Structure 1
Amino acid sequence: MFGSKKEVVKHPMFSKEWFKYELWSWTYIILIVFGFRSTFIDHYHIPSGSLLPTNAIGDSIVVSKMSYGFKVPFSEFFNPMYIGGEQKAPARGDIVVFEYPVDPSILFVKRTVGLPGDTIEVFDNTLIINGQEITKTKIEDDAKYRELYDEKPGQDPKDMVFYEQQLGDKKFVIGENPTFFRHLGQDKITVPEGHVFVMGDNRDYSSDSRVWGFVPIKNIRGRAFMVWMSLVYPWSQEKFHFRPSRIGTQL
């Protein structure tokens, strides 16, 4: 009258059928999890201080894989394909995770400064884009930024000076060390099509496009938008830190 209930078949543990059932169950779970990470959202751990004071060493960041196009799951391991067209260029000021052009097996995190067709020049920590100097405003109450730095050979946190700067609709803070005799610069160049120019917010302690050149847009994995954890592991070469106050920080 009410219909019959569908029986659930239970296989004896460690039987051939049980192993087959468990194998397929875990295969589905793994494909779903990694497919989600490949197409929608992923996370990365910040191992260095090139983006200080925006990202502290040990920050784990959430990265949107959809910001520049909807990628076919797992295609990044072969030839990245995007549904409905090609991958879009990031917006000026975006923090992006990308494959290091010199060694694509390594992932880097930097801020997008120059877009295709832009002219870029950096002299004495002054950034000039398309002939216009990007202004910066000195921050006087800088204790919360300075405390993110650890003292290292040639890098004393007391020497750091912090400025607020804006690129596009992104406002952020950069760090500079005025005690340096010569700051890392960049002669006037034009960003080629299909590439971007990236820099670290920790301007005097960042290996970026000023050193190794442009980043192909196809190398970009996604846009970082939030810190979900901040922990420097005890076994790391860096000083141990756990910063719960950084959890939820927007980038």
Structure 2
Amino acid sequence: MTGRPDDRLQDHAVIVTGAGSGIGRAAALAFARAGARVLGVGRRVDALRRTAAGHPAITVLAADITAEGAPQTVIDTAVGLWGRLDVLVNNAGATAAMPLADADAGRIGRLLALNVTAPSLLAHAALPHLRAAKGAIVNVSSTYGHRPLPGAAHYAASKAALEQLTRSWALELAADGVRVNALAPGPTESEALAAAGLPDAVVEQIKRDEAARIPLGRRGTPEEVAEWIVRLSAPAATWITGQVLTVDGGLELT
């Protein structure tokens, strides 16, 4: 994004989950610059307030979207604010290093609850409003939704599931005028690796290794990814549905 205001989504009502940091924060800001009214959702209220600071178009809601009833509360909050919902961005997710030898039911369940079940329940709760608005869903996947990831297979599988949900929902909802697409970012600067509990030295080594594999020679920025989330949501993309757009600096080619 250039940072200048525009009106691609003027007065549209948008929900962005995981809006307290990384791609989610960048997306909330990009939607606000595009003229939208944004409900930024996340677990950490302080982080959400940093996202919204100086941006009156962004309202924040602290919520654990995996909690019982939370998806409906999120949707009801947005509709209560603006009387409509045009775009749902399912960005919140967890990255978990989990070799098969260390896997257990609790860790697998928590990962799937955030990466697969919560987006599904949010989309379900949003559906009547998205049908009324002929709106859009954008799911944030990962290049590892269609690439193997040894040591984190369940994370990769959760993103593969999200991509298949995207394609299936796109067919299911096309007659209602609701578009469903996904974005698959490559390695992007964010807090995700640190949040996975990895030591700082390991995180830095992973970043160096990832950058070395990317043809463009660097990890992406949240802003570069957020631009495409907005584009997939905007009126100019009204004939695009069921697609998984990879934004990865050429990693897919290796």
TM-score tier, shorter chain, comes to under 0.3
Structure number with the higher helix fraction is 2
Higher relative contact order (CA 8 A, sep 6+): 1
- The two structures have a TM-score, normalised by structure 2, of 0.23
The structure with the larger Rg is 1
State the TM-score, normalized to the length of structure 1. 0.23
